Structure 1
Amino acid sequence: MTDYCCPSMDLGAMLDQYQKLSGKKLWDAKHENLSNEIDRIKKENDSLQLELRHLKGEDIQSLNLKNLMAVENAIEHGLDKLRDHQMEFLMTKRRNAKMMEEEHRQLNFQLFGYRVQPIQPNLQEKIMSLVID
């Protein structure tokens, strides 16, 4: 293998030269497919990282008008979804607060019934029957 090496040659070129001169196959189809898949995933990763930087507002000088508009639309869509989620959260909080206020009012009314005439238990039953009806 050292016969095929020189200081100016990179590893890929050295292996190619060895394969040509020796006739031995170093890469089979399976390894070639794996290498192609790794290259494809690396390119996809780079593309997604660039898109993420654009969405963060970084590195947007390289974008053309069409791409800038696409980024703007994506950001506006995200803001709309965030506002919808925020409104839904606030409405849920308001409903819960109203339910708790109503429960508090009912409990106070029941408690008031016990304070009116603690000596006369029948009066408590009459007040409760009026509240239920």
Structure 2
Amino acid sequence: MGRGKIQIKKIENSTNRQVTYSKRRNGIFKKARELTVLCDAKIFIIMFSSTKKYHEYTSPNTTTKKMLDQYQSTLGVDIWSTQYEKMQENLKRLKVINNKLRREIRQRTGEDMSGLNLQELCQLQESISESVAEIRERKYHVIKGQTNTFKKKVKNLEQQHGNLVLDLEANSEDSKYGVVENEEHYNSAVAFANGVQNLYAFRLQSLRPNLQDEGGFGSRDLRMS
């Protein structure tokens, strides 16, 4: 039974369309290889699928550039000049943008302002003022963060000192430990400790003198002799 003819129209099902494209593409490339060998022909084929995938076939012992150069030579056209002109136009546009940005940078540092009129100077001043405001806001934010971090560290240190003092007072009944509150008692304790083996004298010294009358142990320093 013979094969039925396929109606030539767009295949609506995307999966079937992609499968058909893949099979027929491979068939075309196979025929191109055969034609290259049988007839010593140079063949160059470019394909783009509906999914924007790129496929290319070029005869052996040649390259895409060689085929395009031969195409230009045969038809007497120059496809590269158009592309070169577009690249040159794009380069000029980028240079203009670059020069404008460089000038704006110089103007923000107080340079190259001789060609500005009053309106442009006012706009420049307003732009710089907005930038300064943003920088100042960011600076205050950083300072606030550093200050909060410092306060947390101080609070942790005071808590550690307070816990140490509480532990010391809890063990103060031990005969070989003694806690003194002022310099006079501390010196006496040291003198006494020098004559007694295994006796230690501890002095509580305020880390923040202006808080001596507040009470508590968080602001005291512990020293041992």
- TM-score using structure 1 length: 0.65
Find the aligned partners of 1:119 and 1:49 in 2 and give their Cα distance: 73
Find the aligned partners of 2:81 and 2:139 in 1 and give their Cα distance: 56
Deviation track 1:83-127 (CA, whole Å, cap 9, x = no partner) reads: 11111111112211221222122111110112113267xxxxxxx
Residue 169 of structure 2 corresponds to which residue in structure 1?
116
Find the aligned partners of 2:169 and 2:109 in 1 and give their Cα distance: 65
Residue 84 of structure 1 corresponds to which residue in structure 2?
137
Aligned Cα root-mean-square deviation (Å): 2.3
Give the greater-gyration-radius structure (CA).
Answer: 2
Could you tell me how far 1:34 is from its partner in structure 2?
Answer: 0.8
Q: Does 1:104 align with 2:169?
A: no
More strand by proportion, 1 or 2?
A: 2
Count of residue pairs the alignment pairs up: 99
Q: Counterpart of 1:28 in 2: which secondary structure?
A: helix
More deviation, 26-35/91-100: 26-35
Q: Counterpart of 2:151 in 1: which secondary structure?
A: helix
Residue 93 of structure 2 corresponds to which residue in structure 1?
40
Find the aligned partners of 1:30 and 1:72 in 2 and give their Cα distance: 43
Residue 53 of structure 1 corresponds to which residue in structure 2?
106
Deviation track 1:17-53 (CA, whole Å, cap 9, x = no partner) reads: xxxxxx9859621111111111111111111111111
Find the aligned partners of 1:47 and 1:78 in 2 and give their Cα distance: 19
2:125 aligned residue (47, 55, 72): 72
Gapped runs of 5+ residues in structure 1? Answer: 1-22, 121-133
Find the aligned partners of 2:154 and 2:78 in 1 and give their Cα distance: 80
By relative contact order (CA 8 Å, sep 6+), the higher-ranking structure is 2
Find the aligned partners of 1:84 and 1:97 in 2 and give their Cα distance: 20
More helix by proportion, 1 or 2?
A: 1
Residue identity (%)? 21
Q: Quick one: structure 1 residues 109 and 38, their matched pair in 2 at CA, closer, same or farther if it must change by over 3 Å?
A: same
